[in-house]
Amino acid sequence: MKRYIATAAFSALLASQVLAEEIVAVPFDGSFDDATFAVESAIVGQGLVIDYVSHVGDMLNRTGADVGSDKQIFSAADIFVFCSAKISREVMEADPMNIGYCPYTIFVAENESGVQVGYRSYPDGPMEKVEALLAGIVEEAAGN
């Protein structure tokens, strides 16, 4: 019974953290390719290494018919995956469970609303350092 209560409490905690997250997106005045170049340049300009670029838009467009959908969500969408050794160490020294937020991501997406650049927000506390990093990269890429 104790195990059940602990599992339920842990699940409630995770759910509250997931619900607290928001997607922060800003419009990009330019093409999708210009936006991906700007994001890549801003990430590298911070001295960070991009681990991977996930081509989510291509995957969704390629697999739509396979899952019974004919709706195009994005004309293009990429997610840049990276980490910061310095900031990651700081936030994980504050709370080792912040490992669950690493690596960090910034997306570029284009649909009928235009091109947008953005990221997932993080909880208050140590993770605000990560959110500030992401906000700065997006701001630089968007030219704000």
As a whole number of angstroms, the distance between CA 121 and CA 101 comes to 10
Check residue 8 and give its pLDDT.
47
CATH number of 22-142: 3.30.310.70
CB 35, CB 78: distance < 8 Å: no
Check residue 19 and give its pLDDT.
46
Check residue 16 and give its pLDDT.
43
Cβ count within 10 A of residue 81: 14
Reduce the secondary structure of 78-102 to three states and give it as a string. Answer: EEEEEECHHHHHHHHHHCHHHHHHC
CB 106, CB 138: distance < 8 Å: yes
Check residue 76 and give its pLDDT.
97
Q: List average pLDDT for each run of 10 residues in the chain, which is 144 residues long.
A: 48 47 94 98 97 97 92 96 96 97 97 96 96 97 89
For residue 28, the surrounding DSSP H or E stretch is strand 23-28
Environment class of 135 (CB within 10 Å of its CB; exposed 0-12, middle 13-18, buried 19+): middle
Check residue 107 and give its pLDDT.
98
- Whole-model pTM: value is 0.83
Check residue 20 and give its pLDDT.
54
